[in-house]
Every structure is written in C-alpha cells, then in structure tokens.
Amino acid sequence: MSTASLPSYVAPSFSRTPSYTAEPTAYEQRLALNRLRPRPSGEITKQSKGGGVSLRFIAQANDATLPVYGCGATVEGAVEVAKPDGVLSVDVKIKGTLHLKEIAEGGTVTYELCLSRMSLWNKDRDPGVCPPSLSFSLPLPATFNDGKNDFPLPPTHEVHLNGMPGFRATVEYSVTAYVDKGILKKAATSILPKQQNSNTVSTPFIYYPRSRPSVPIPPPMVFSSRTPGVIETSDWRCFESIIPARSSGVSDITTKVLPPMALHAVF
C-alpha cells in the first residue's frame, strides 16, 4: 500500500493580515460593544474627633457623602496621621453585621457578615518613624457563612416589619482605622488607671451589589396588525404549542412562548 504524501505547506504572509482599527471600516460591522463605566475619581475623607487621624477613600463619586462599593469591589484609600511621632502601630478593619431584633420580646440576634483587618505599620516590624500616610486595599468577600451555609453578602439595608411580635433588621458595614500611641504616662495615678493613647476614626460605607446580563435585552416585540400575536424576529425564539379542542365547533388553542435568543439553549 502506498501512502500519498501530504501537500506542501506555505506559510502565510503577514503582509496580508488586516490592520486593526478601533472603528469598523466600510465593509465591517460591530456585533456588540460593552462600554465600561469610567472609574470615579472623587475622594471622601473622614476625620477623628481631634483631627489626628483621617480616613481617605479614593475612587468615589464626586457627590457621595459615604463610600459606596459593589460586588467583589476593593475598599481602597489611606490612613493619614497628623502627628506620626510616637506611633506604635496603625491598623485598618472592615466589619459587616446583620442585626435582627424582635420588638415585642426585645431579643436580638447578630450575625457577623465579614471581618478583615490589615496591619499597615508596626514599630516592631517596620523601621523608622511611622509615615504620615499609609495606603490600604481590602477586597470585600462575595459570600458569608452563617455557621452552616454560604450566602451572598447582603446589601446595606434596613427594614421594619410591623405586627406581632414585629421585627427590625439592619445590615451595615463600616471601616475603622486604629492608631496606637501606647500608654499615657500622665494618666497613670493612684486615682486614674493607665489609659491607652490611641486615635480611632470609623465611618459606615454602603454596599450595593449590582449585576447585569452578559448581553443586552433585545428590542421589544411589536404586535402584528394582520394576524393575532406579535411579529417574529431573529431576536426572539418562538416556541409554539397547540392544544386541540375537545368539542366540535370550538377552535384549537394556540400558545406561543417567545424568549430572547440569548436565553435559548440548543441541545
């Protein structure tokens, strides 16, 4: 048995490769375009009572009063220390809680939704004096565990359920910065105990997880003026079912279901 030899292969010429253009040419068309939202460039700053510590959040809307984050977002910003001399450590913490209170009986249940803490600077670990500004970046988890199962991280929300016994549910999130300056020696007297010299600043933030379909919704269907129903287009898939009439003189029942083509699966 003889085996025919394979035809020779000629490498393609790269000079024939079409050049890339950001916009379609005369013989091209754009099939889909998903425009990304520009990242906000505003900042939000929260200060402690004495003004010694500030929490600065970046990538926020210009008119926002509280930081806002979505699903899978990262809390980014910086902790700014007005007087870094004598600082022992700087930490930042994110906390989320779900409070469920029964109004009639007064019982309260609290679930910890998320808790993450980051050490930004520590005298025992980092040499020199604490920097006046320390950046941080903490990702938000997508889920939380109630001890048995995993659930999506709920959005910031507050609801009151009237009636008996009545409930009040609150979901809240916060960011806290801790600046530790050790023990206040002046406070160590026989009357007053030693006090921790620390500056703390905390602020709530809003968590709004959003989602969108992978493809846009097709144009709405148009009702036909000639025949009952709508005009079928390539954007909608039609599934028709006929229920035969059991009695003579009665018309069959025709049912049409038109889901978008993007939701139609072919097996």
Q: What is the CATH number of the domain that holds 124?
A: 2.60.40.840
| Structural domain harbouring 220 | 215-267
Examine the pLDDT at 22 and tell me if it is beyond 80: no
Taking alpha carbons only, the member of 56, 114, 123, 49 closest to residue 84 is 123
Please tell me the predicted confidence (pLDDT) of residue 188. Answer: 47
Same domain flag for 156 and 62: yes
Same domain flag for 198 and 256: no
Q: Residue 108 belongs to what H/E stretch?
A: strand 108-122
Same domain flag for 178 and 261: no
Residue of higher predicted confidence among 177 and 266: 177
Q: What tens digit of pLDDT does each residue of 146-174 get?
A: 888 999 999 999 998 887 778 889 999 99
Taking alpha carbons only, the member of 176, 184, 174 closest to residue 88 is 184
Task: Please compute the mean of the pLDDT values over residues 106-112 and round it to a whole number.
Answer: 84
Same domain flag for 126 and 186: yes
Of 33-42, 92-101, 240-249, which gets the smallest average pLDDT? 33-42
Please tell me the predicted confidence (pLDDT) of residue 267. Answer: 38
Please tell me the predicted confidence (pLDDT) of residue 69. Answer: 95
Same domain flag for 102 and 182: yes
Position 135 confidence tier, pLDDT thresholds 50, 70, 90? very high
Q: Is residue 3 part of a domain?
A: no
Please tell me the predicted confidence (pLDDT) of residue 174. Answer: 97
Task: Please compute the mean of the pLDDT values over residues 178-192 and round it to a whole number.
Answer: 65
Q: What is the mean pLDDT of the chain?
A: 83
Of 39-53, 71-85, 191-205, which gets the smallest average pLDDT? 191-205
From CA 195, how far away is CA 185, in angstroms rounded? 8
Contact of 205 with 75, CB cutoff 8 Å = yes
Residue of higher predicted confidence among 32 and 243: 243
Examine the pLDDT at 264 and tell me if it is beyond 60: no
Phi first, then psi: give them for residue 261, nearest 5 degrees: -60, -30
Q: Is residue 89 part of a domain?
A: yes
Same domain flag for 199 and 235: no
Same domain flag for 249 and 148: no
Q: How many domains does the chain have?
A: 2
In angstroms, what CA-CA distances link 255 with 91, 131, 215?
63, 71, 27
Size of the chain, expressed as the number of residues it contains: 267
Please tell me the predicted confidence (pLDDT) of residue 17. Answer: 59
Residues β-bridged to residue 168: 101, 160
Q: Is residue 23 part of a domain?
A: no
Residues 6 or more apart whose CB falls under 8 angstroms from that of 188 comprise 194
Q: Is residue 29 part of a domain?
A: no
Residue of higher predicted confidence among 164 and 74: 74
